Amino acid sequence: MYAIAKNRLVIVDAYPAQGGRIVSETDLNGLSPQEMFIFSGKLLLFSSANGYGYYGYDAMPAVKMPARWGGGSVVQLYDITDKAAPKLGKEIEFTGNYLTSRLIDGKAVFVINSYPNYYYGYGAVQEADRGSGSGSSGASGAASGANSIIPLMREEGVEKPIAQPQDIGYIPPMPVQSFVTIAMIDLDSGIVEKETFAGSAQAVFASETNIYITSTAYLPPQIPVLREIDGAQKISRAIYGDYESTVVNKFNFSQGKISFIGQGSVPGQVLNQFSMDEYSGNFRIATTVNNYEFGGQQKNNLYVLGPDMNLLGKLEGLAPGERIYSARFMGKKAYLVTFKKVDPLFVIDVSDPSEPKVLGKLKIPGYSDYLHPIDENHIIGIGKDAVDSGYGDFAWYQGMKMAIFDVSDVSAPKELHKIIIGDRGTDSYALRDHRAFLYDAQRQLLVLPIELHEIPEGQKGQQDGIDAKTIQGSGAGSTGAEAAAPSTTISPQGISMPPAYGEPVFQGAFVYKVTLEKGFEELGRITHVGAQEELKRGYYFDYSYMVKRALYIEDVLYTLSDQMLRANMIPSLEGITSFRFAKEELPAGYIEPVYRAQ
């Protein structure tokens, strides 16, 4: 098993768990690892490096690149044939921010955002020194000297511009504020192909052959209309703001090269990768349009673009006044969740690219941040419960909510099961990162890392001592699926007050059996935090013991934090063993709590 913990690469002989051991821990010398891939005896690691603690200050002696605003990104390819001693075979460094990556057939495609090489004060002096040959070879110094705005990279120990000026593309109409590099590395040979263009990258979607780079652009709408009024030319239509668009650039990488295919543009902003999809050669995208004109409303749209990125069909104006919180494309259907006071789940038919249409919708309290399919007709949604504020057109977030949606009748989707976990403040890494969501339909297993917040029974309904009345809400505020609804507090001045936050009482993995017949059945919880009072220490809480990920091998469930890997049996959750990673030096006077499974 391979893990990233405490800025180390850890390899564990984890199965069978009883005889397991930590095989190696590789110190990454100040890098902050973000993602990794493993393929055929190779491990590819993407890390970030702070511009002040990494570049230019010799925190890592191998790196001599000058300081850069925004830090840098490092790509490292390890040979893990000998797991006790991983061998670094290739390292590439970029001045810029790592965005995302995909591994397809032994090749990793990744995206780097870099900013122009502008310097002020200390940076300008350093750039001038480097341009004269100090700290680099004369060739690289001359190629990217004081007059160059092109960001740098370093490969095989050679510092050079990320691309030559004549090789940097520009794809109108994107505003030119930064550079985007799309690179592809072969994990077997280490060969790197890349393309750089002026622009920016935000959300990314990749299929097996194409990668779609999106960015929000505020483009002018139409030229203002002039009309003669009282003998003078006057503007007859006022423009309150630029037109918000998502520009999508399509690249192909199937032939070992990265090639630009085409560009499309649609109104609004895209949420994340799950709001995009490629199906039968067409690109599908859901967006929210933020109307900045006075009195304007948000609205939500779905568009289908053809292989050449020309518009084929659209569905516009969904849920006015709300925005998209989650989306999922599944074959000939799409599912959108919008929210402002309640959670409409839209079922959309996208079988005809020229005419997407709404088949049905369901309105329920709360919203889903992430949708995950169980099968063709059932979806798990995880997010937050909510209660009507009782004042104004909004709702207050409550505890965490999980639901199973039945979409077998597309005209009338329904919430088959739901459960509310904790009170206001309860949170999960899975709400922001789908990789923290572990689900296996065959095993009927669902595991989520959750920080549980609960309001003590004697304090429920109280609002920080305010003398106020309450309005009963429509949500739920405990771990019971049918618990009493929370309340909205109205102050003597008639102002809606937010419900109270719960106190942190637990952090760890919640383990469920999930069936269509019974919904979510909790099997138990696993924590790496010992005395739960540690969660109440606020700023001083040691977050390295928070469970972030879970996985299983056969009948053993593994949970991971920065401090340890813990093994428990499935489904009993009986503890087997724990693999503790190398200890860090603790501050003087720090008393380490006692850790135990729960």
Distances (CA, A) of 453 to 66, 248, 532: 45, 40, 12
Tens-level pLDDT at each residue, the chain (598 residues):
999 998 899 999 999 999 999 999 999 988 999 999 999 999 999 999 864 433 433 333 334 344 444 469 999 999 999 999 999 999 999 999 999 999 999 999 999 999 887 654 344 444 444 444 433 333 333 344 445 788 899 998 889 999 999 999 988 877 778 899 999 999 999 999 999 999 889 999 999 999 999 998 876 654 454 555 666 765 544 444 457 889 999 999 988 899 999 999 999 999 999 999 999 999 999 999 987 554 567 899 999 999 999 999 999 999 998 999 999 999 999 999 998 755 689 999 999 999 999 999 999 888 899 999 999 999 999 999 988 766 656 678 889 999 999 999 999 999 999 999 999 999 999 999 999 999 999 999 999 999 999 998 877 665 544 444 444 443 333 343 334 444 555 444 444 567 888 999 999 999 999 999 999 999 999 999 876 556 666 656 778 899 999 999 999 999 999 999 999 999 999 999 999 998 655 444 444 443 333 3
Residue 31 and residue 74 in contact, taking contact as beta carbons nearer than 8 Å: yes
3 state DSSP class of 29: coil
pLDDT for the residue numbered 132: 41
Residue 257 and residue 186 in contact, taking contact as beta carbons nearer than 8 Å: no
Opening angle at CA 187, ends 186 and 192, nearest 5: 35
pLDDT for the residue numbered 69: 43
Q: Which of the 8 DSSP states describes residue 66? A: P
3 state DSSP class of 255: coil
pLDDT for the residue numbered 22: 95
Residue 481 and residue 418 in contact, taking contact as beta carbons nearer than 8 Å: yes
Residue 436 CB neighbours (<10 A): 20
pLDDT for the residue numbered 149: 84
CA distance 159 to 146: 15
Domain residue extents for the chain: 31-201, 208-365, 367-439+451-502
CA 294 to chain CA centroid, Å, is: 32
Residue 428 and residue 448 in contact, taking contact as beta carbons nearer than 8 Å: yes
Residue 48 and residue 71 in contact, taking contact as beta carbons nearer than 8 Å: yes
Q: Name 289's bridge partners.
A: 299
Listed in sequence order, the residues at least 6 apart from 120 whose beta carbon sits closer than 8 Å to its beta carbon are none
CA distance 548 to 526: 12
